[in-house]
Structure 1
Amino acid sequence: MLEKEELISHFEGVRKRTLKYLGQLPEGVIDWRPDEGKFSIGDIIRHLGSAELMFFHAITQNEWKYDGHGPEKGKTLAEAIHYLEQCHATVLAGLRQLEPEMLKGKVKNVLGYEVSAWRIIMAMTEHEIHHRGQLSAYMQANHIDPPQIFGLKIEQIPKDESRRYGEAEEDARHQ
């Protein structure tokens, strides 16, 4: 298990990269959705905030409650992002107050199985990454280039011409 501050730092890094995506969105796409009945861009942003509170509640109360992601939590892009940031600040403050032993304690996951609380934090970050990928697809469908999460496109990383696919496996068999 990572130490509490490492978990928090990882979580903050995930959010920082998500905010880069949100910073690329024009106001006019807040209600865009790929199809009826699917999350809109605004729904995703508000859902991330509400889900973050849900995960933290599960860690501290050992029960799952979701407060929804409706437009009352932010009708405009700025309001939705503000809601997300408020939820994040609340959860970060709460995580910082948790005793390290609490993170090792068992809580029920959403399916009712007991897991260590620190795994719920990891699931919370995985959940956000999932929805950031969804936002990326939504952005591309709207002809908006999503930012590079680590600063470079894969085509900008130097190629290693000395190794071709399969060579490492071949080398390993001959040793």
Structure 2
Amino acid sequence: MLSKEVLISQFAGVRKRTLKYLQEMPADMMDWRPAPDKFSCGDIIRHLGSTERMFYHAITENEWKYTGHGPEKGETLEAALHYLQDCHEAVLTGLQQLEPEQFNKKVKNLLGYEVSAWRIVMAMIEHEIHHRGQLSAYMQTNQVQPPQIFGLQIEQIPTALPDDQNRDE
């Protein structure tokens, strides 16, 4: 298992990159959805906050509860981001207060079988990355260029590795 500090740092880094995406999203995209039965951009933002609390509750209480992602959690982009940040701060504070051995305790996953709590943290991270990719696709569909996740476009990266330079000869 990764250390408690590394897990928390990784999660904080994922959120930082997600916020970079959300800062580029126009406020008028909040209600946009690709189809009537799919999440809107606002739904995704609110869902990320609510599921973050859900994952943390599962770690600490060994039960799963989801409070929903309705507009009452933030109708505007600003309000939804505030909800997301409130959830994140509460969960980060809670994770930091857990003892390292609590990350190894067994808790039930959504299917009912037991896994280590650190795996639930990893699932929370993976879940956010999934929805960040979804937001990226939504933005691009609406001609909004999302930020580059690590600052460069693939075309800006050198095309040959040092070991490959002699292979063409």
- TM superposition score normalised by structure 1: 0.92
Shift of 1:127: 0.1
Letter in 1 for 2:105: G
Match of 1:41 in 2: 41
Whether 1:92 and 2:68 are equivalent positions in the alignment is: no
Match of 1:18 in 2: 18
Shift of 1:163: 3.5
The residue correspondences of 1:141-152 to structure 2 (distance < 5 A) are: 141-152=141-152
Shift of 1:28: 0.6
SS at match of 1:111: coil
Whether 1:126 and 2:126 are equivalent positions in the alignment is: yes
SS at match of 1:147: coil
Count of residue correspondences: 165
Shift of 1:26: 1.1
- TM superposition score normalised by structure 2: 0.95
Give % identity: 70
Whether 1:60 and 2:67 are equivalent positions in the alignment is: no
Aligned-residue CA RMSD in angstroms? 1.2
SS at match of 1:23: helix
CA distance in 2, matches of 1:26, 1:56: 30
Shift of 1:84: 0.2
Match of 1:140 in 2: 140
Match of 1:173 in 2: none
**Unaligned 5+ residue runs, structure 1?**
168-175
Match of 1:109 in 2: 109
Shift of 1:83: 0.2
CA distance in 1, matches of 2:110, 2:160: 43
**Unaligned 5+ residue runs, structure 2?**
none
CA distance in 1, matches of 2:50, 2:164: 46
Shift of 1:113: 1.4
Whether 1:69 and 2:66 are equivalent positions in the alignment is: no
Q: Deviations over 1:77-131 (max 9, x none)?
A: 0000000000000000100110111100100111111100000000000000000
Match of 1:50 in 2: 50
Letter in 2 for 1:15: R
Q: Deviations over 1:29-86 (max 9, x none)?
A: 1000000010000000000000000000000000000000000000000000000000
